[in-house]
């Protein structure tokens, strides 16, 4: 569970509801005010318009539903552990140095990370270093390409929400202006017209833009981890000294993680 994202999403809506319900005069809350913001045709136009437009852009319904489902990625913490990964690469480099590259095959079986595993097997197979780099980087680019498609989905949705919200407001205004017989209905009708813009803004700013940014951050840490893996594997294949490899990979860590890494490593060495 990604606590920060869940806190952010939930507290955002709760604070807004309190803001809606707050009565300045009596310094009290009137939660029936929330009913002002619920309107069925507005839901139809704003969410209907936004989500069907996104269907039009997708190659097929399966791909559309898959991208919608990517929302759950925001609620999970990605299993990226930089320190752990660097340590296991250094472990591999020690194995390779002492027992040869072939000894890595056995170690590879215990590794969960598919990308690291594939890289080790390529090395064990004696693949040409240039080819290892090329295959690993093609894979990296394709992973990033897929991430960017998902990020693009939420990005387009964040543009479609306000656009269809405005279309809904235009529809409400046009309907209202065409028939102004009863002046007492002008206010409420205009309120309803504005509800679609409100929905569209919420869809964009409460959901889509945070999702886009969250996925971008997740993507960039995953890609950086994979670049560390590629760098590390090629160094192992080149038979570089484990100390040099460690120095190389540690420059990817931020200062806090570097201290943690050094501390833990010191302990290990002592142990």
What are the φ/ψ torsions at residue 111 (nearest 5 degrees)?
Answer: -95, 135
Three-state secondary-structure class, residue 22: strand
The nearer residue to a copy of itself, 101 or 195, going by C-beta atoms, is 195
Closest approach of a copy of itself to the CB of residue 140, in Å: 9
Residue 37: burial class (beta carbons within 10 Å; 0-12, 13-18, 19+): middle
Give me the sign of the Cα torsion angle 249, 255, 261, 263.
Answer: positive
With respect to a copy of itself, which residue has the nearer C-beta, 99 or 134? 134
Query: Which of residues 55 and 99 has its CB atom nearest to a copy of itself in the complex?
Result: 55
Whose structure tokens read 């559309």? Answer: 64
In the complex with a copy of itself, which residue's Cβ is closer, 17 or 103?
17
Q: Cβ distance 219 to 68 under 8 Å?
A: no
**Least gap, CB of 225 to a copy of itself (angstroms):** 13
Q: Quote the least distance from Cβ 199 to a copy of itself, whole Å.
A: 10
Q: Which residue, 79 or 99, is less far from a copy of itself as judged by CB?
A: 79
Spatial separation of the C-alpha atoms in residues 80 and 54, rounded to whole Å: 30
Shortest Cβ 153–a copy of itself spacing (Å): 10
Strand partners, 22: 29
- Min CB(271)–a copy of itself separation in Å: 25
Neighbours of 230 (CB within 10 A): 19
């Amino acid at each position: 569970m990604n606590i920060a994202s869940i806190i952010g999403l939930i507290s955002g809506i709760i604070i807004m509801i309190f803001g809606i319900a707050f009565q300045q005069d009596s310094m009290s809350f009137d939660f029936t005010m929330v009913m002002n913001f619920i309107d069925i045709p507005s839901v139809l136009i704003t969410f209907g318009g936004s989500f069907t437009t996104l269907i039009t852009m997708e190659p097929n319904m399966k791909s559309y539903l898959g991208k919608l489902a990517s929302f759950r990625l925001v609620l999970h913490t990605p299993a990226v552990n930089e320190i752990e990964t660097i340590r296991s690469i250094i472990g591999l480099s020690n194995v390779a140095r002492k027992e040869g590259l072939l000894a890595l095959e056995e170690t590879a079986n215990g590794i969960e990370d598919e990308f690291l595993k594939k890289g080790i097997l390529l090395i064990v197979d004696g693949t040409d270093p240039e080819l290892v780099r090329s295959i690993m980087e093609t894979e990296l680019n394709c992973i990033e390409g897929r991430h960017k498609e998902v990020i693009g989905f939420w990005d387009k949705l964040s543009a479609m929400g306000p656009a269809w919200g405005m279309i809904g407001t235009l529809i409400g205004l046009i309907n209202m202006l065409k028939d102004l017989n009863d002046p007492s209905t002008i206010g409420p009708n205009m309120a309803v017209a504005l509800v679609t813009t409100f929905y569209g803004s919420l869809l964009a700013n409460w959901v889509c833009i945070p999702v886009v940014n969250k996925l971008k951050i997740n993507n960039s840490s995953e890609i950086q981890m994979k670049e560390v893996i590629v760098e590390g594997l090629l160094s192992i294949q080149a038979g570089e000294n484990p100390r040099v490899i460690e120095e190389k990979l540690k420059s990817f860590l931020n200062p806090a993680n570097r201290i943690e890494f050094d501390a833990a490593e010191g302990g290990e060495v002592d142990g």
